[in-house]
C-alpha cells in the first residue's frame, strides 16, 4: 500500500498493518473504512500532560505518567501457577528506581532492551517492600517525542483482540495522512455566523485535544454538523413532500362536522379546539398535510381525528384510519360507527376477521367510492386495497415510527397525495421529535378533558397481594371493571402465554362469582374481538391480558389497572397501560404488582408512581434508556450520531434545524453546496428516501 494515496473512503485493509483479521475485529466496532477510523472518537480522555519523576509516584495513588530507562529485564515462571509467566523490569530515572511487572507478556523480553528509554503510565502498588507497578502502559521512545505521555491521551473503546494502544497508534497515523483531506462541508456563511473551527482541526482536536476551549469548539462544530446533515435531509424530504404531489384541497361546506359537534355529548377542550383548527387549516390547502398530533393518553385525540375525517367526507373524498393492532382497529370501528351512523355515514373495517366475501365487498366499495370511511390495521397498506379518491389518512398510536408505512399508504392515493395525520400518545421529547418526525408539523394536546380524576398509582410486593385482591373484589362489587396485565416471556420462541394462563386460573379460583376473561395475541381475530366487545359492554368484570391492550383501548367503566411484574416494563409503556383507566368520572387506580430486584428498579417504580404527566415520563424514560432504545427508534438509524448526544445537545438541534430549513428554502442547494449535498445523500439518502430528483 502506498500511504500517500490513502483516501477517506478506502477500506481499512488499505492501511499499513491492517489485514483481513484486524479488519474483521474493527468491523465489530463499526469501522469499515479509513473515514470510519477518523471519526471513531475516544470514549474518554486521560490527562497525562504532567510528567512526573519516580519519586513523585505515590503508592496506591492514581496512575501517572513518567519517563525512565530500562536497567534490567528478568523473566520467570510464577511459583504459585506454573502457567503464569512474569516479566520484571527494573526502571530508573537517574535518581530513583522502580520495578514494573507484566504477566504473560511473552514477547516483552524480545521487545525491551537494557538502556531503552520508556514513557510509562501507571501507579505504584500499595504496601510493597519496593516500589512496584503492575502492568503499566509503556511506549518505547527511540529518540522520538512520546505520544502516550505529556499530553491528553485518547481512550478508545477497544474490543477483544484489538487493544487500546494499537488503536491509538493506527488512528494517529491515519489521522496524520487524512486529516488534511477532510473537506469543510458546512456552507461558509454558517461557519462564519457561528465562528466554527474548520473540520480538519475539529477532528484532530477530538482525538488529540490540546486544550479545553479548543476541544469544546471542536465538539460544538461536529455536533452541529451531524444535526445539520440530518436536518438538511429532513428539509429536503419536506420540500419534496410539498412539491411533488398535490393533495386535494378539502374546503367543502362543513355540514357533517356541524351535525357531529351538535350531537357530541361533551364540550371540546380548548386544546382540542385549537389542534382541530390547525388540522382543518392544513387540509384546506393543496399542499399535503403531514402533521403529528401528540397528546397524553386519554386527552381525546379520537374526537379530533373524527373531525378531520368528516372534513374529508364533507369535501367529497374518502378517508382511512389505521391502527397498530386489530383490537384497536375494531374499537375505532365501533366508536366511529357510534358517532357516524347517526350522520348516515357507513364505516368499513379491514380486515377485522371478516369473511372473504365481505372483505371483497369492502374492497369493491372502496374502489368505486360507495364506502367513504375505512378503519384497519397494516393490512390496509399490505393488501391490494385501492380507493376511488383517498384524501386523508389518519394513523393512530404511531409511537413505533412507521415512516415507511406512511410512504406505502401515500402511494394509495395515485397521482394525488393524501393528507396525513399521525397520532401518538407517547409524547416524544422535543429533540427526538425534531429528528424522527423532523418533516412533520406538530400539534400538541396538553390538557385532559375536565372532570377527570387523577389516577392513583401505587406499587406493591407479594406481601400485599391479599389486600389488593380484596380491594379488586370491592371494585367489581361496585360494578367497576378491571384489567390485569401480565408481561410476555420474551425468551420463548413462540410467545408463551403461560404466566398469563396460570395467573388467570388463580384469579378464577379467587373470584368464582365474577365474570373473567383472557386476551392475548395468539387468539384469533374473531375471538379477540368477541372478548373486547363483551368487556366494552360491561359483561366482563376482569380482563386478564397481555400488553395487547396497551394502546388506545377505551372503556370508561374500567377503573383498575393491575400490572404484574411491572419492573419489566419501560416507563412509557407503563404509562400507556395506566392510560386504559381513569377514562370516566370514577376514581381510578394503577397498581404495579412488582418484584424489583435492586434499588434502581425500586426507584423507577417510585418515579413512575409520582409522575402523571406523559411528557415528564417520556423525558425520564429517554434519560434512563437512551434515545435509541426509547420507543424503538434505533432501527431507523436516524439517531445514530458519532459525537452528538440527543439529550445533552438538544438546543443545538433546534438551531441546526432552523439553519437547514432556511438553507433549503433558498434555492438550489445542489448547485450552491455540492459537497454538503453529497454528504447528506450519502448519510441519509436511502434512509429518508431523498435521492436526487432534480
Ligand atoms: P386518546 O387521546 O388516548 O386517544 P380518546 O380519544 O380515546 O383518548 O378519549 C378518551 C375518552 O375521553 C373517550 O371516552 C372520549 O370520548 C372522552 N373525551 C374526549 N374528549 C372529551 C372532552 N372534551 N370532554 C369529555 N370527554 C372527552
Ligand atoms: Mg387513542
Q: Is the CB of 252 under 6 A from ligand 1?
A: no
Asked whether the CA dihedral 600, 603, 607, 609 is positive or negative, the reply is: positive
Closest CA to 690 of 439, 351, 505: 439
Question: Predicted confidence band at 496 (pLDDT cuts at 50, 70, 90)?
Answer: very low
How remote is the CA of residue 304 from the centroid of ligand 1, in Å?
Answer: 9
Ligand closest to CA 452: 1
Q: Is the CB of 449 under 6 A from ligand 1?
A: yes
Summarised one tens digit per residue, pLDDT across range 324-355 is 878 788 888 988 999 999 999 999 998 755 67
How remote is the CA of residue 379 from the centroid of ligand 1, in Å?
Answer: 26
CA distance 244 to 253: 27
Summarised one tens digit per residue, pLDDT across range 396-439 is 876 554 444 455 555 665 678 889 998 987 777 777 777 777 77
CA distance 210 to 221: 16
Q: Name the residue of 273, 449, 556 to mutate for ligand 1: max ligand atoms within 8 A of Cβ.
A: 449
DSSP 33: B
pLDDT at 547: 83
Q: DSSP for 222-249? A: HHHHHHHHHHHHHHHHHHHHHHH-PPP-
Residue 349 forms beta bridges with which residues?
375
Does the pTM surpass 0.85? The reply is no
The number of helix segments (H) and strand segments (E) in the chain equals: 24, 22
Closest CA to 77 of 106, 100, 98, 99: 106
CA distance 590 to 657: 39
Q: Is the backbone peptide bond immediately before 502 cis, with ω within 30 degrees of 0?
A: no
Q: What is the mean pLDDT of residues 471-478?
A: 96
Share of the chain above pLDDT 90, in %: 50
Q: What is the mean pLDDT of residues 248-258?
A: 92
Which cell goes with 539? 359483561
* Helices (H), ranges, 245-389: 255-263, 270-283, 301-314, 326-340, 356-368, 379-382
pLDDT at 109: 84
How remote is the CA of residue 636 from the centroid of ligand 1, in Å?
Answer: 32
pLDDT at 402: 47
CA distance 90 to 100: 6
State the chain's mean pLDDT as an integer. 87
How remote is the CA of residue 297 from the centroid of ligand 1, in Å?
Answer: 9
Strands 117-122 and 137-140, sheet pairing? antiparallel
Phi-psi region of 561 (alpha: psi -120 to 50; beta: other; left: phi over 0): beta
CA distance 39 to 203: 7
- For residues 513-538, b (16+ Cβ closer than 10 Å) or e, as one string? ebebbbbbeebebeebbebbeebbee
Is the Cβ–Cβ distance between 292 and 442 less than 8 Å?
A: yes
Q: How many of the other CB atoms lie within 10 Å of CB of 603?
A: 12
Is the Cβ–Cβ distance between 545 and 527 less than 8 Å?
A: no
Atom of ligand 1 nearest to the CA of 304: 6
Amino acid at each position: 500500500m502506498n500511504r500517500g494515496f490513502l483516501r477517506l473512503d478506502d477500506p481499512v485493509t488499505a492501511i499499513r498493518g491492517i489485514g483481513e483479521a484486524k479488519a474483521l475485529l474493527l468491523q465489530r466496532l463499526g469501522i469499515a473504512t479509513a473515514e470510519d477510523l477518523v471519526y471513531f472518537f475516544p470514549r474518554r480522555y486521560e490527562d497525562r500532560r504532567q510528567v512526573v519523576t519516580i519519586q513523585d509516584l505515590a503508592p496506591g495513588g492514581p496512575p501517572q505518567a513518567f519517563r525512565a530507562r530500562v536497567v534490567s529485564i528478568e523473566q520467570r515462571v510464577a511459583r504459585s501457577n506454573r502457567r503464569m509467566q512474569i516479566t520484571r523490569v527494573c526502571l530508573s530515572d537517574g535518581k530513583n528506581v522502580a520495578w514494573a511487572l507484566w504477566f504473560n507478556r511473552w514477547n516483552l523480553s524480545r521487545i525491551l532492551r537494557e538502556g531503552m528509554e520508556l514513557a510509562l503510565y501507571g501507579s505504584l502498588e500499595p504496601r510493597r517492600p519496593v516500589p512496584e507497578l503492575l502492568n503499566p502502559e509503556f511506549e518505547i521512545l527511540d529518540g522520538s517525542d512520546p505520544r502516550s505521555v505529556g499530553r491528553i491521551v485518547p481512550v478508545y473503546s477497544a474490543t477483544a483482540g484489538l487493544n487500546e494502544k494499537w488503536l491509538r497508534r493506527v488512528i494517529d497515523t491515519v489521522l496524520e495522512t487524512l486529516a488534511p483531506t477532510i473537506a469543510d462541508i458546512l456552507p461558509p456563511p454558517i461557519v462564519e455566523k457561528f465562528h466554527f473551527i474548520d473540520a480538519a482541526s475539529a477532528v484532530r482536536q477530538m482525538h488529540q485535544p490540546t486544550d479545553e476551549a479548543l476541544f469544546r469548539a471542536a465538539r460544538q462544530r461536529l455536533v452541529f454538523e451531524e444535526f445539520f446533515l440530518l436536518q438538511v435531509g429532513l428539509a429536503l424530504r419536506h420540500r419534496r413532500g410539498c412539491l411533488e404531489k398535490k393533495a386535494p384541497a378539502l374546503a367543502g361546506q362543513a355540514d357533517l362536522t356541524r351535525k357531529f359537534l351538535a350531537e357530541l355529548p361533551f364540550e371540546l377542550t380548548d386544546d382540542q379546539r385549537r389542534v382541530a383548527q390547525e388540522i382543518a387549516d392544513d387540509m384546506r390547502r393543496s399542499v399535503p398535510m403531514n402533521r403529528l398530533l401528540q397528546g397524553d393518553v386519554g386527552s381525546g385525540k379520537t374526537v379530533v381525528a373524527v373531525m378531520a375525517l368528516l372534513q374529508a367526507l364533507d369535501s367529497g373524498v374518502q378517508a382511512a384510519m389505521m391502527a397498530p393492532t386489530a383490537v384497536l382497529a375494531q374499537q375505532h370501528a365501533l366508536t366511529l360507527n357510534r358517532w357516524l351512523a347517526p350522520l348516515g355515514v357507513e364505516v368499513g373495517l379491514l380486515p377485522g376477521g371478516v369473511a372473504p366475501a365481505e372483505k371483497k365487498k369492502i374492497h369493491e366499495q372502496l374502489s368505486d367510492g360507495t364506502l367513504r370511511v375505512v378503519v384497519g390495521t397494516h393490512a390496509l397498506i399490505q393488501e391490494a386495497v385501492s380507493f376511488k379518491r383517498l384524501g386523508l389518512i389518519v394513523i393512530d398510536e404511531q409511537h413505533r415510527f412507521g415512516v415507511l408505512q406512511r410512504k406505502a399508504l401515500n402511494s394509495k392515493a395515485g397521482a394525488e397525495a393524501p393528507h396525513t395525520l399521525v397520532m401518538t400518545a407517547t409524547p416524544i421529547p422535543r429533540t427526538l421529535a425534531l429528528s424522527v418526525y423532523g418533516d412533520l408539523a406538530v400539534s400538541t394536546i396538553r390538557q385532559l378533558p375536565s372532570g377527570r380524576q387523577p389516577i392513583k398509582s401505587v406499587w406493591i410486593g407479594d406481601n400485599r397481594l391479599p389486600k389488593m385482591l380484596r380491594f379488586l373484589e370491592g371494585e367489581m362489587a361496585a360494578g367497576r371493571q378491571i384489567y390485569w396485565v401480565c408481561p410476555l416471556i420474551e425468551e420463548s420462541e413462540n410467545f408463551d402465554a403461560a404466566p398469563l394462563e396460570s395467573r388467570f386460573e388463580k384469579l378464577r379460583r379467587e373470584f368464582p362469582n365474577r365474570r373473567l376473561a383472557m386476551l392475548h395475541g395468539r387468539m384469533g381475530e374473531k375471538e379477540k374481538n368477541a372478548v373486547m366487545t363483551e368487556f366494552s359492554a360491561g359483561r366482563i368484570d376482569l380482563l386478564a391480558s397481555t400488553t395487547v391492550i396497551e394502546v388506545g383501548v377505551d372503556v370508561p367503566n374500567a377503573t383498575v389497572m393491575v400490572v404484574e411484574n411491572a419492573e419489566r416494563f419501560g416507563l412509557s409503556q407503563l404509562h400507556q397501560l395506566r392510560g386504559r383507566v381513569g377514562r370516566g368520572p370514577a376514581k381510578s387506580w394503577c397498581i404495579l404488582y412488582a418484584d424489583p430486584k435492586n434499588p434502581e428498579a425500586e426507584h423507577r417504580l417510585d418515579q413512575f408512581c409520582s409522575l402523571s404527566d406523559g411528557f415528564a415520563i417520556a423525558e425520564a424514560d429517554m434519560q434512563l434508556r437512551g434515545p435509541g432504545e426509547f420507543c424503538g427508534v434505533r432501527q431507523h438509524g436516524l439517531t445514530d450520531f458519532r459525537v452528538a448526544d440527543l439529550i445533552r445537545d438538544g438546543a443545538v438541534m433546534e438551531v441546526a434545524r432552523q439553519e437547514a430549513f432556511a438553507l433549503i428554502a433558498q434555492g438550489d442547494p445542489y448547485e450552491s453546496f455540492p459537497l454538503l449535498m453529497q454528504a447528506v445523500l450519502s448519510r441519509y439518502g436511502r434512509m429518508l428516501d431523498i435521492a436526487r430528483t432534480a
